[in-house]
Amino acid sequence: MSAVAVGTKLPAQTFRVSRFDLVRYAGASGDFNLIHWNERFAKSVGLPDVIAHGMFTMAEAARVVTDWLGDPGRLEEYSVRFTRPVPVADDDAGSVIEVSGEVTELLDGGRAKIMLTATHEGQKVLGNAWAIVRLP
């Protein structure tokens, strides 16, 4: 990774999220908010469907960075805004989140800033998503 420069692109990844994934994430994270698994409730509060946990989307987006780094402990800072929910229908296909990243700044101490883009059906689901990493 010695050739990292401003403009270096991280390998993009596509993540698929199904109702099964949301139930499993609810259990693992302890976030059992009804909007993430109960369609009846989600619609009653004006959502189009059950929506993915924002923290699930944030976790998936991080993988573009940590897979690139290898050692996840090289991630020093990570920040996102949740701009749009990811609805997850009760089907076998699930919903798709596409994540890409690009080095936008080289910092002192062998560190770099990475901007991330996460979209669902062409629309951004994370805003101002960035990470600061220690380069290997």
Partner 1 sequence: MQQAHHAQGDALTLNTALVGRTYPPTSPYVVGREKVREFATAIGDANPAYHDVDAARALGYADVVAPPTFAFVIAYAGSSQAAMDPELGLDYSRVVHGEQRFAYSRPIVAGDSLVATATIEAIRAVAGNDILTTRVDLATEAGEHVVTTTTVIVARGTAEESA
Tell the smallest beta-carbon distance from residue 71 to partner 1 (Å): 5
Stretch that binds partner 1, among 36-44, 61-69, 97-105, 114-122 (CB under 8 A): 61-69
Should residue 52 be labelled a site residue for partner 1 when binding is judged by CB under 8 A? no
Report the residue from 8, 39, 59, 84 that binds partner 1 according to the rule CB under 8 A.
Answer: 59
Instruction: Spell out a b/e string for 87-123, using b for 16 or more CB atoms within 10 Å of the CB, else e.
Output: ebeeeeebbebbbbbebeeeeeeeebbbebbbbbeee
Report the residue from 4, 8, 49, 75 that binds partner 1 according to the rule CB under 8 A.
Answer: 75
Cβ–Cβ under 8 Å, residues 96 and 12: no
Should residue 56 be labelled a site residue for partner 1 when binding is judged by CB under 8 A? yes
Distance from chain centroid for Cα 61: 3
Q: Tell which residue, 72, 67, 130, has the closest CA to residue 102.
A: 130
**Site size toward partner 1, by CB under 8 A:** 30
In the structure encoding, which two tokens stand for residue 81, read together? Answer: 């805004």
Binding site for partner 1 (CB under 8 A): 15, 21, 24-25, 27-31, 54-56, 58-60, 62-63, 66-67, 71-73, 75-82
